[in-house]
């Protein structure tokens, strides 16, 4: 996935607006025009699912997170534990 419009032209809608950091290591891309091989494969797989299926899977995951009571803790915050997804 190199050349021809840069990284964003090759990513699915879910990565729209992704900008590789100007400095430091980027896990997803080698450069603004090239994804790392494993990420390229992953993004192609997500793209093949389509936006409707991705949205359906995200809704299912959110429901499972709620059903299982998954939370996270904000240390030092008086509210403490919070749900991992909005109710």
Whether the pTM exceeds 0.75: the reply is no
* pLDDT score at 87: 59
3-state secondary structure (DSSP) of residue 38: helix
pLDDT (tens digit per residue) in 25-71: 999 888 777 788 898 888 888 888 888 998 899 999 999 998 998 98
Residue 29 has φ and ψ, to the nearest 5°, of -130, 150
- Left if phi > 0, otherwise alpha if psi is -120 to 50, otherwise beta: which for 20? beta
């Amino acid at each position: 996935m190199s050349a021809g419009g840069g990284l964003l032209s090759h990513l699915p809608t879910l990565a729209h607006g992704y900008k590789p950091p100007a400095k430091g290591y980027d896990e997803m891309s080698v450069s603004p025009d090239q994804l790392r091989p494993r990420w390229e494969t992953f993004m192609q797989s997500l793209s093949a699912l389509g936006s409707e299926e991705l949205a359906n899977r995200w809704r299912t995951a959110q429901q499972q997170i709620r059903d299982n009571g998954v939370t996270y803790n904000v240390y030092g915050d008086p509210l403490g534990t919070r749900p991992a997804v909005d109710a």
